[in-house]
Chains A and B, each alone.
Chain A
Amino acid sequence: MRAESLAMACALATSLAGLSTVRADRSFDVVMTKVAMDAYGLQVVDRAQTPQQFEFGMTANLGWAHKPLRLQLNDINMGRQEAPFTLIEQQVTLDLGFYLGLWDFLSVAAQVPVGVNFYDANAVGDPTVTVLPTTPATTGSTMSTGIYAGQPRQSVSLNTVAIRDPRFALKARFYGGKYFEIGTLLEVTVPLGDKGSFLGDKGFTFQPKLLLGALLSRLHILGSFGAVVREPSALYEPNPTTAQASSPPLRLQVGHELTWGGAITVRLHRVIGLGVEAVGTIPVSGEQVFATGTALGSLYLLPTDKLRFSVSGGGGLFADSPRNASGRVMVGMAYSLLPRAGGLL
């Protein structure tokens, strides 16, 4: 019975697939908590402090997110009624970064981020499904389902593991006093990430940020304001109803955005610090767009001046936002071969 209903649903979808001319554009990165570019930054909030000249360091961050992508889509098993789908149930991220101080006020940094997606198979569908013949004398066909519907036929399904867009940044400190610091981070992402698996943008993006910091002995208050300039991507309904076929509804659009970040850290002891970090985006263009925000509580461990471990946990601030993971845990390591006095926090 179940197989028969699936076959009928598939047959219906086949007839509608021809009507659907748009693609479920997946060319955006659902990771909304990009890690800091160097060891002076916190988990997700960058700091204006730059490495000293010829200071070299590395960062490695492992992240886990719960439900990082949720969308309203038509459910072909429910008569194409709109229903909530968690396209990505869980996501693991790995970010490897390197940085080098060129001068005392200027540094370069690069990060290679990787994503591992655990999809909801029902929502994502299958690129090739066998539609059995209804009687033994005839032959059936094959078709694609889920977000593969309406797209060029293929045999390979979505990538579960892929690189995200590599990040390259130039960081400059304009002023660094005892109580206040100000700088900028000019970041460019290169579109090598997997555009088909919600892990990469359509093209290059430019992400400038203004970095501010108030330094009050053991207490640091950091802020950042910036933007993401990108070619927009639009995810349309992959399985429109007959009425929607000529103009499938737009489910999500990702375009230019403003970014913000803030953090308060307290160094409790030479080797321990605590912090609260928050980052988010505010869309400035597009139709079906959503703001995002994530708050994290962080614990920093500094066994030596050269090394910092951090553990952060938190979640999304806007429950209705498709790209706002409901839960997020991050574990990070930052290492500098020649850190500034005071270490990495």
Chain B
Amino acid sequence: MKKSVLVSVFCLGLPSWVLAQEPAMPARRSTSALDPTYDVLLPDPEPAADTTAKSDGDRTPSANTDIDIADRVLSAAKQVTTVQEAPSIVTVVRADEIQARGYRNITQVLENIPGWLPSANGGNLLPIPMVRGTAQAALLLRDGVSMFEPVTNVGTYNRSLPLETIKSIEVVTGPGGVLWGANSFLGIVNLISKDADDINGLEASAGYGDGPGSPQDFRAYVLFGKSFRFKRGPKLSIVQHVSYETYLGPRYNVLSSISRNAAPSPVGPHVYSVFTDTNPERSYIVNVDGKISLGPVTLAYSMPFALMNTSLSFANNPTSGRWDTATGAPAGEPVRNHLQSFDRFVTLQYKGRFLKDRLGLDIKAYAVEFVRDLDAVLLPGSSRNPSGTTFNTAIRSYRTGLTIDGDATLPLRNRLLWGGDLFYEWAPELTVQFPLSDPKDLPISCPLERSGMATPVFKPGCPLPFLFGTNRLVTALYLSDTFRPVSSLTLDAGVRLQGGFGQAQYNFGNLGNNGQILGSASLVWNFYRDMHLKANYASGFRPPVFNNTDSNGAAVQFSGSHSLKNERSDAFQGEWNAKLLRNIGPIRALQLRADYAYTDLRGLIVISNGSYTNRRTDSNGIDTGPGSESRRRIHSVESAARLFIGDHTLSANYTFLHVTTNDRGVLRSMPQHSFNLGWVLSVIPGWLEQNGTLIVVGSYDDPNRLRTISLADGSTIANFSDLTFDRLPPQTILNLGARAHFFKNRLWASLNFYNVLNQRYYYPDPFYDLAPTLEVSPTPAPGWSTFFQLGGKPF
């Protein structure tokens, strides 16, 4: 490896002072992933190591290969590097860790990463992970293709993502706008799928679980992957995956609403009935996805279809269903209540390297359909409104486009990343309907069947535009250069120009009206042995989604505005990381990381005086000046430790978060402290592992309405001015599990318990809506559940 470095340097004709330094380079440097000869766009050449196969006596340096591989970042930085050396704050979670820790969905993975917290909105209609206390701020990628949903910015952070197909999850904490463009506002989650060689055979599994947190949950999958090499021609690789899951939404007992003012401005009193059990309709998810590679070309696709009902709806209303006036209780019929959230896509990718590996090219063409069908409860059935009120709209949007990424090895130890995007995204006009309601009873203006009648005859279901059809064409170019003046120092700087055109064009950009220019710069200094210091500036932006620009204010939403600006993020980040205690006694390695970040979010889109705006306005709708731009300043400390000792792995993360807003002061609805412990203990090496996760979220406040008035029928009223800050105590979620392997891992079984202590856990309120808020209680998270799984790889 070292020889190849020297040859490479010689070929590039570097100055003699650089050559003179090479022999003095420590041997460990030659393994750097920043080595310019490293193949940055081809798949990881090294197979994933099986950590369970190691024994106590195997303590050679090569025994730590799995640790080093686990640190490798393949694509979040658009170059092969390591977590320690990447010019941003990166966390990598590999497939073996997902399996060993018993993660069942992407949210469980993210909640164990420093700086990330789970949350939900609209009851539990949409799970939205938060990064640095900010919701909808992370860009979800599937093999580097953006899955940003352009209407509502609801990512598929749910069960629809099959984790068994994922080779690794690379998570960037902080903005990543230069490399990834719009919507990599404060984080990036890149799901890298397994290749045929990672699977190399047929794998199948089936499992069942129960418990109030995930009742009656059955899931099975089959995963096939194989590469075929022919005497002539390129290698053919096939990956095919099919999974099926059926489950019920979590069980809760919550207050149900009787009546409230119509959205979007619920300023009137909110009348509550009694605590009621949820009863959602059964859900299912079918995933059919795969990829076929022929030489440098890969065709990947995902075609899920699903019905994903949840238990709680807007204002945390239960899915209690129709009210039986005879019994004075819910009739017991399961209720349809969902905001579907899954993506169907096809991508065609070409990867190649030219000019003796000095030039790399990665071209992706893609088409994505975003399914966000909404069919939700507004008011559950009650004595005053037995059938309840529901509404539905099929939110569909589409994106098709082309992404080009390239890398070039340049003289003087420079490495240039370059590329661009061209895509078109659109949403047709969407209609909302109220199937259970008589239009004349609805507090909105429903369309007439025929005009000119003496008595108005409304169209059944009160169909109204939910969103007017709209579109956006986006073009972008970026350049990012990595320069290593000396072997221990890496400098990185980049710039991106991105423009948005069409009906929902970018406005008031900093490059003309439609253009946005972003920059980044970083320094990584390997100052002592395996210790690095990083200093980094990163920026990002988030254009207004179609629901902000083209929603119909005369139905159930706030009016869209075409004059909204892009939201912008800037972060100044510093990191210290180290690998210590390598192969000392039973300790294989101790990895430590501590980051500090100051993040400034500007022009955040908020609701002020009944409409979307980037700025706060006074009660007369007058802009209150430059200082009124909606803004958040975030101080955060994110730290992680991971100890590899014997066959055991222990990890600990801690996050400190302090968020201030320019209109509401300190964001009290976020925990300032959160930490978690994770472990995988080898009880019987190679046979039985025990895993656990302890998540501790510090106390925080949740603004809610307070019920202050009672009526004779037992109902209670919360007025919009009756507010309280519910002081939420620290919360502790303990997950425990065990996993057994048989027949050299050909057969395995796992049993996991989630939220073992049945902690009554509440999600932090990411929007911190002080008034007028609808909820009288925080949004509850699921209770305990268990899941048993049996799987095998027969061949």
Contact = CB atoms under 8 A, between A and B. Distances in A.
A206 to B, nearest CB: 20
Chain B interface size band reads: 35 or more
Contacts of A193: 730
Interface string A123-149: 000001011110010011110000000
A179 B673 CA distance: 45
Nearest to A337: B586
A64 interface: no
Contact of B730 (A94, A154, A162): A162
Nearest to B697: A163
A54 to B, nearest CB: 4
Contacts of A332: none
Given A130-B710, A141-B709, A155 B724 contact: yes
Interface stretch (B121-129, B447-455, B753-761): B753-761
Q: Which of B643, B677, B699, B732 has the most CB of A within 10 A?
A: B732
A138 to B, nearest CB: 8
A128 B777 CA distance: 11
B698 A192 contact: yes
Contacts of A128: 706-707
Contacts of B711: 133, 139-140
B714 A161 contact: no
B694 A142 contact: no
A342 interface: no
Residue from the set B699, B714, B762 with the largest chain A CB neighbour count within 10 Å:
B699
A54 B729 contact: no
A257 interface: no
A159 B731 contact: yes
A197 B760 CA distance: 13
Interface in B716-747: 716-717, 724-732, 734
Given A54-B585, A112-B677, A161-B759, A153 B729 contact: no
B307 interface: no
Contacts of B726: 154-156
A132 B760 contact: no
B584 interface: yes
A53 interface: yes
Looking at B586, B648, B698, B729, the one whose CB has the most chain A CB atoms below 10 A away is B729
A156 B727 CA distance: 7
A46 B679 CA distance: 25
Contact of A132 (B587, B643, B714, B724): B714
A114 interface: yes
A142 B650 contact: no
B712 interface: yes
Given A112-B696, A156-B777, A160-B760, A196 B727 contact: yes
Nearest to B274: A130
Contacts of A94: 734, 757
Contacts of A79: none
Contact of B584 (A54, A112, A161): A54
Interface in A229-271: none
A133 B710 contact: yes
A337 B712 contact: no
Contacts, number: 127
Contacts of B727: 152, 154, 156, 196
Contact of A163 (B643, B732, B760, B762): B732
B455 to A, nearest CB: 35
B708 interface: yes
Interface in B564-585: 581, 584-585
A289 to B, nearest CB: 25
A308 to B, nearest CB: 15
B760 A155 contact: no
A58 B681 CA distance: 10
Given A161-B758, A197-B729, A337-B645, A131 B724 contact: no
A156 B714 contact: no
A53 B586 CA distance: 11
B704 interface: yes
Given A54-B586, A112-B677, A193-B730, A130 B724 contact: no
Interface residues of A, number: 41
Given A154-B727, A156-B778, A192-B730, A136 B585 contact: no
Contact of A155 (B586, B729, B759, B777): B777
Interface in A41-70: 53-56, 58
Interface in A269-316: none
B762 A156 contact: yes
Given A54-B587, A98-B650, A139 B709 contact: yes
Given A54-B587, A133-B711, A136-B712, A153 B758 contact: no
B709 A142 contact: yes
Contacts of A155: 704, 706-707, 724, 726, 776-778
Contact of B732 (A98, A132, A139, A161): A161
B646 interface: yes
Nearest to B776: A155
A322 interface: no
Contacts of B714: 130, 132
A208 interface: no
B586 A56 contact: yes
A192 B673 contact: yes
A318 to B, nearest CB: 29
B730 A56 contact: no
A35 to B, nearest CB: 16
A213 interface: no
Nearest to A60: B692
A200 B730 contact: yes
A153 B717 CA distance: 15
A330 interface: no
Contact of A130 (B587, B716, B734): B716
Contacts of A169: none
Nearest to A92: B757
A24 interface: no
Nearest to B723: A153
B734 A162 contact: no
Interface in A87-102: 94, 96, 98
A172 interface: no
A250 B789 CA distance: 54
A338 interface: yes
A136 B727 CA distance: 34
A162 B673 contact: no
A64 to B, nearest CB: 14
Contacts of B758: 160-161
Nearest to A136: B712
A142 B581 CA distance: 60
Nearest to A130: B710
A94 B725 CA distance: 30
Contacts of A161: 731-732, 757-760
A194 interface: yes
A53 to B, nearest CB: 7
A116 interface: yes
A131 B586 contact: no
A141 B706 CA distance: 11
Given A162-B729, A193-B730, A338-B585, 9 more contacts: A53-B585, A54-B585, A58-B681, A116-B757, A152-B724, A156-B726, A161-B760, A195-B729, A337-B645
Interface of A: 53-56, 58, 94, 96, 98, 112, 114, 116, 128, 130-133, 136, 139-142, 152-156, 158-163, 192-197, 200, 337-338
Q: What 7 pairs across the A-B complex have the smallest Cβ distances?
A: A54-B585, A140-B710, A161-B759, A159-B729, A194-B729, A161-B757, A163-B732
24 contacts: A53-B585, A54-B581, A56-B645, A58-B679, A94-B734, A128-B706, A132-B714, A133-B710, A133-B712, A142-B706, A142-B707, A142-B708, A142-B710, A155-B706, A155-B778, A156-B728, A156-B778, A160-B758, A161-B731, A161-B758, A196-B727, A196-B729, A337-B645, A338-B585
Interface of B: 581, 584-587, 643, 645-646, 648, 650, 673, 675, 677, 679, 681, 692, 694, 696, 698-699, 702, 704, 706-712, 714, 716-717, 724-732, 734, 757-760, 762, 776-778
